[in-house]
A and B are shown apart, each in its own frame.
Chain A
Amino acid sequence: MEKVALKDSGYRLKKAKILHTKKMTANEKFFEIALRENSPLDHEPGQFIMVSLPGIGEVPISVCSSPVKRDSFDLCVRAVGKVTRSLHKLKAGDEIDIRGPYGKGFPIRILEGNDLLIIAGGLGIAPLRSLITYILDNRRDFGKVHILFGCKEPKEMLFGDELEDWNKRTDLHYACTVDRADPDWAGNVGVITTLIPGVDIDPIRTFAAVVGPPIMYNFVIKELLAKGIPENQILLSFERNMKCGNGKCGRCQIQNLYVCQDGPVFHYERIKNLSEAF
């Protein structure tokens, strides 16, 4: 058996360096990462990359920073498996390898000029932070912006400082809720769907961008449709177990679609009849 270098390989890795890390919650850690020579990742909000720790493995992670930031990019990693737990042990100065970006993110060009209703559940805030920060970097290009955020408990809240900033801004509307309050919590209590009826939108010119745990989607979609938002203006991002990112390995398939190539962001209209999606 002959082994030959393959320069066109879809599995080639790019070296990257961790610039900065921050423990966010018991399970989530924030990483700021730069490619070699600070070359831009050149992603779209909503896309993901494959993060490698050679010798341990590779996992798909959403990019959570705006592509306007060109020198580096951010990841928010939840420790759930072998690779992500090992990632949590890394610190500034350590190296990782990446591939990507992969997939179709949020259709920015279509969203421009329209109003946006952004709904994030738990870790769903990570890919949406990429979209939100992009919008804030280009604020005048978008219409009204509503951000609804929900998580189980206050201590699981990610990007707390930034949420606080969004809450203070006058050019967007922000609301959040927790499923279970703790003694220090003074805000809304209840699942995220309870926030939707109170949002004042013009449904015909509003696009909804929704990312959260699978269980959230059916309930949120029902509320959005009740609000009168058309099906092709509801955008959802799906989490699946991507291994190759190239639409081959089959792990992320939802019926005839490959989440890694056809998604992870889909128009609800396109997938509403795919029972494996929900």
Chain B
Amino acid sequence: MKKPKVGIFDFACCEGCQLQIANMGEDVLSVLGSIDVLEWREVMSEKWGKKLDIAIIEGSITDPHAVKRIKQIRKKAKILIAIGSCATIGGVNGMKNNFGLDDIRKYVYGDSYRFFPTELTKAVHQVVKVDYFVHGCPMYIPEFVALIKAALQGIPYYPPDYPVCVECKLNENVCMYDRQVTCLGPVTRAGCNSWCINNGNICYGCRGMVSNPNEKGAQDVLAKYNIPMELILNKMNMYNKCRELT
């Protein structure tokens, strides 16, 4: 089998997900053994610029230049994979959408703000077609590996459509709500093996929401624990603001 040609590209992000790939250790060698990486700004200086089998995208789309660039990459790539919350759901960059775009530009660029056009933050699939999603901030490496294998096999990969609580319970973690701490596990899509909670942290909702949450039930639960709706919505918006865009 000919090795697929792969390019890794970043948009508005912290490049943390690419760092996750670089930090994979032995697995990265196995992954690199089955693919040909031709462009990856974070770790190599070569540019490819031609047709690709797989384009891996980190980051959200936040300005007209990025829109143009992602469309070009889409045209060149047979398969497009979005990695990390910024790319899959907009992620923390979505917080920009809480404010007026001109206010944002003035705040960031001062008087010369007119030279810096901007747009509402969008997840990659809100601009071009995405074939595979690796959610998470940062993405969870075992899921990335599973997905790469699926892409190489030419079969779909479906992230779980149930809440993080499922995996958290299987890991026998003490429920954050038992510790009187709010956690977004009950409404957040699983697939991370409850990574954060295993390590003593709460779930911040970085993988996006489950597709058919019981909203009425969730409100009852919040009421039971005396948690104001606004607090949870604010927490949700940290990663999930872009869900409001269609």
A interface with B by C-beta (< 8 Å): 55-56, 82, 85-86
B145 to nearest A CB, angstroms?
15
Q: Which residues of B contact A56 (CB under 8 A)?
A: 153, 155
Instruction: Name A83's closest neighbour in chain B (CB-CB).
Output: B155
Q: Which residues of B contact A85 (CB under 8 A)?
A: 155
Instruction: Name B157's closest neighbour in chain A (CB-CB).
Output: A82
Q: Which residues of A contact B156 (CB under 8 A)?
A: 82
Q: List 8 A-B contacts (CB under 8 A).
A: A55-B153, A56-B153, A56-B155, A82-B155, A82-B156, A85-B155, A86-B154, A86-B155
User: How far apart sit A85 and B153, CA to CA, in the bound complex (Å)?
Assistant: 12
Size class of the contact patch on chain B: under 10
The majority secondary structure among interface residues of chain A is: helix
A9 to nearest B CB, angstroms?
24
Q: Which residues of B contact A82 (CB under 8 A)?
A: 155-156
User: How far apart sit A241 and B153, CA to CA, in the bound complex (Å)?
Assistant: 24
A94 to nearest B CB, angstroms?
15
Beyond A55-B153, A82-B155, A85-B155: 5 further Cβ-contacts under 8 Å? A56-B153, A56-B155, A82-B156, A86-B154, A86-B155
Q: Which residues of A contact B155 (CB under 8 A)?
A: 56, 82, 85-86
User: How far apart sit A86 and B156, CA to CA, in the bound complex (Å)?
Assistant: 10
User: How far apart sit A55 and B152, CA to CA, in the bound complex (Å)?
Assistant: 12
A85 to nearest B CB, angstroms?
8
Which of B154, B155, B156 has the largest count of A CB atoms less than 10 A from its CB?
B155
Instruction: Name A53's closest neighbour in chain B (CB-CB).
Output: B155
User: How far apart sit A82 and B155, CA to CA, in the bound complex (Å)?
Assistant: 6
User: How far apart sit A56 and B152, CA to CA, in the bound complex (Å)?
Assistant: 12
Q: Produce 1/0 per residue, B137-163, CB < 8 A to A.
A: 000000000000000011110000000
User: How far apart sit A55 and B146, CA to CA, in the bound complex (Å)?
Assistant: 12
Q: Which residues of B contact A86 (CB under 8 A)?
A: 154-155
Q: Which residues of B contact A55 (CB under 8 A)?
A: 153
A90 to nearest B CB, angstroms?
13
User: How far apart sit A239 and B154, CA to CA, in the bound complex (Å)?
Assistant: 27
Instruction: Name A55's closest neighbour in chain B (CB-CB).
Output: B153
A86 to nearest B CB, angstroms?
6
User: How far apart sit A56 and B155, CA to CA, in the bound complex (Å)?
Assistant: 8
Instruction: Name A56's closest neighbour in chain B (CB-CB).
Output: B155
B217 to nearest A CB, angstroms?
23
Q: Which residues of A contact B153 (CB under 8 A)?
A: 55-56
Q: Which residues of A contact B154 (CB under 8 A)?
A: 86
